[in-house]
Amino acid sequence: MNRRSEGFANLKKAVEGFVNHKYAEGLRPRTIDSYERLLHKWIDYQGDKPVDQVTPKEIREYLRWLRTDYQPIRKNGKTHALSQKTIRNIWVTLSSFFKWAETEFEIENPMNNLPAPKIQMK
């Protein structure tokens, strides 16, 4: 799917390629479903733009928004903030996606200098 010479795919199209790649790697369907769900939630926030136009600043802003302003809607009706572990899982998903995109599209990985969120041990 290397499209360097044809221009860059938008995020939604790139996520399709990423998901196919993860299936080919043999990841469990539940893991892949989680990746896909989290990436689409991020695209809903970010907007569907070319994959090479995402900046570290935009990703930092998204992670901040998840910590401070996002109001999750859970099936049980509770609205408490996302846990530190959930925020870390979202970072891991974005990191995995952009590591794949870095190779697939020959772009600079916006996650390279974005440290993983800390998790305080209880």
Residue 98, exposed/middle/buried by CB under 10 A (0-12, 13-18, 19+)? buried
Residue 4 pLDDT exceeds 80? no
Judged by average pLDDT, the poorest of 33-42, 77-86, 90-99 is 77-86
Digit-coded pLDDT (tens) for 103-112: 999 999 999 9
**Most distant pair of Cα atoms in the chain: their distance:** 50
Instruction: State how far the Cα of 106 lies from the Cα of 8, in Å rounded to an integer.
Output: 10
Digit-coded pLDDT (tens) for 12-25: 999 999 999 999 99
- SS3 call for 36: helix
Q: Find tokens 């009706």 and name the residue.
A: 77
Structure confidence at residue 7 as a pLDDT band (50, 70, 90): low
Q: Which residues contact 31 (CB under 8 A, 6 or more apart)?
A: 22
